[in-house]
Structure 1
Amino acid sequence: MSLRTVLAAAAIALTLGACSRAGEMDYLGGIRVARSTCPAVGVPAYTGDITLFDPPQSRDASAIDVTATITNLRTTCDETSGPDVIATTTFDVVARRRDATAPRQVVLPYFVTVVRGGNVVVAKRISRVALNFAAGQDRAQTTGQGSSVIARSAATLPEDIRTQITRKRKPGEQDAAIDPMSEPGVRAAVARASFEQLIGFQLTPDQLQYNATR
């Protein structure tokens, strides 16, 4: 299962408690969870690492020049003021090089993408981070950042859908055992209101294939 699928599933799961108070036990034994309009944040599969080769056409382990990894994502989200939800994620890029003889700067591209409903890209921005290796050092680290702006109205479930999902169902009622998420209209509404902020290296097709098959 890909990270994107996992994040989408998590967003849907959070929606089930849209109108509940967080941390309380439901009288039927469930746990109430408050849904947030903030996007889920993560790194898509195969895009969290990048490998540079020298010579570039080689894929031998002995030709690995630089490797880098995105790690330690930290997100702040403002969903309390104005018509937009603003999520800002800071992350670290840690890298290692083969030849530590001379000082060197390596610039790597990364993307910040906003995905709606698990598969619809609504925004994408390409940025770059610079890693500075000092002479004699084979490791370097830097920090990157990405932000997304999502309309609060788009990330909020319609009132009728919230009511349908959170309505308390008593044992013995005809629809007590029916999962409201099994209804196509409810699933579609939840998907439309679910957003993800995805961050990863902007890889070439060859680099992506290398990550997926190594």
Structure 2
Amino acid sequence: DLPGAPAVDRQVVAFEEALRVARRAGLDPDLVHLANSAAALSAPRTRFDLCRIGIALYGVDPFGATGPGGFGLHAAMTLRTSVVNVKRVPAGTGVSYGPEHVTDAPTTLALLPLGYADGVPRASGGRASVWLGGRRCPVVGRIAMDQCVVDVGDLPVAIGDPVVVFGPAEGDQNPPTVGEWARWADTNPHEILTGIGARVARDHLHERTRTS
């Protein structure tokens, strides 16, 4: 929920009083700022001379919405990988360490070369999903340091197929959002975004190159 107007008003009044006290003491700041992403989007009274935009720069709703919010934000970061192995397994097959997950029917498992050393949160194992083969497929078993396993059911998945771990919805694609990964890992979107490891290649795309 958006912060209540009375609470914001009290914060602004307290801030303005602090400014008056500072100026009476001889301090005269060139710039005055109070608003983070949430305040900048929802509480104009907090903006003063500038705003300290953080999470909103990544297109993530600071109020926790996991899908498109009411502020016109568009996710600015996508985490992609590809399938490196595919294996058809029978019911009763243990997956990853433990095993904490055992298949309950014949299925196909896809191996992804991303793990918690790359920023895929270990705590999200058994909850998370990725976009693969035109649908969301669950991450099963424990997430390892360098890899994780996805259950693709009967999808005709092959080595080299593209995978979106998180990113914006585009066309008929509906990959998980950063907000969803944060919920699956019991953390906040900031940790998901800043946790992507150095082994993950960075491609910086401008809008004109994305759409050309």
Same fold (TM over 0.5): no
Higher RCO (C-alpha 8 Å, min separation 6): 1
Which category describes the TM-score, using the shorter chain as reference length? under 0.3
Greater share of residues in helix: 2
Q: TM-score, normalised by structure 2?
A: 0.23
